[in-house]
Amino acid sequence: MKSSKAMSEFKGSKCPICDRASDAKYRPFCSKRCADVDLARWLSGSYAIPDDEDEDGGDTTLPPAGDAIPERKS
């Protein structure tokens, strides 16, 4: 039977915080500490997902090059 240390580590899988071997109990992290560091980064906004709206709610994305905006007739 494999040792508990060997079973708790995934081959080729590394902790995204410190690059040590990950532990099955805290996967994908190596320890509770690294899991907590990651959670703190999400909660503080360090891992914010960018959006396509400016501060007043307008969409800042540009239309694709082939979709020209028709001109307004006066």
For residue 8, is pLDDT > 50?
no
- Mean pLDDT, the chain, rounded, equals 77
* 30 in Cβ contact with 21 (< 8 Å): yes
pLDDT for residue 71: 72
pLDDT digits 0-9 by tens, 9-41 = 446 699 999 999 999 999 999 999 999 999 999
Q: Where are the domains of the chain?
A: 4-44
For residue 45, is pLDDT > 70?
yes
